[in-house]
Amino acid sequence: MKLKNCKECGRMFQANLASQKLCQRCGESEDNKFLKVREYIYDNPRCSVVDVSNTLEIEEELILKWLREGRLTLKGEGSGYPCERCESIIQTGRFCASCANKMSSALQASAEALKNDQDVSTKQSQAGMWTAK
């Protein structure tokens, strides 16, 4: 058991799990909302985020958050939300498949570039040490 500050309301609470970020009250209400949304999408696979939000009176932002985290998936055509990068309509996660692909290769490229940069700067500092002698 560990004392933590709730990310939602800031109150101190006893966390049973290291991953727990919300107090009992906030955590429960968010879980309850999640279950409702999941059930609604299950019953109405062609619904849109706006439908869910209006029917259940749950903030669109929260539903989008779950979709982006991949906890929810929309099924209906045209019922998605925009990819964060190119605005094409997606139904789960943060990016469409093509952006996800492009980004993972871009990420690899920038990781390589970073590595090369570090190599250069360590060489330079070593070179500096030598000349300073």
* Site for Zn ion, rule CB under 5 A: 6, 8-9, 23, 26, 83, 85-86, 88, 96, 99
Query: Exposed, middle or buried: residue 16 (CB in 10 Å: 0-12, 13-18, 19+)?
Result: exposed
Report whether 73 contacts 67 (CB < 8 A): yes
By C-beta, is 15 or 40 nearer to Zn ion? Answer: 15
Contact in structure between 37 and 72 (CB atoms under 8 Å): yes
Query: Min. distance of Cβ 14 from Zn ion in angstroms?
Result: 12
Residue 9 CB, nearest approach to Zn ion (Å): 3
Of 6 and 41, CB closest to Zn ion: 6
β strands within the chain, DSSP E: 2-5, 12-15, 81-82, 89-90
Nearer to Zn ion, 36 or 94 (CB): 94
Pick between residue 12 and residue 35 the one whose CB is nearest to Zn ion: 12
The alpha carbon torsion through 46, 94, 7, 20 (nearest 10 deg) reads: 80
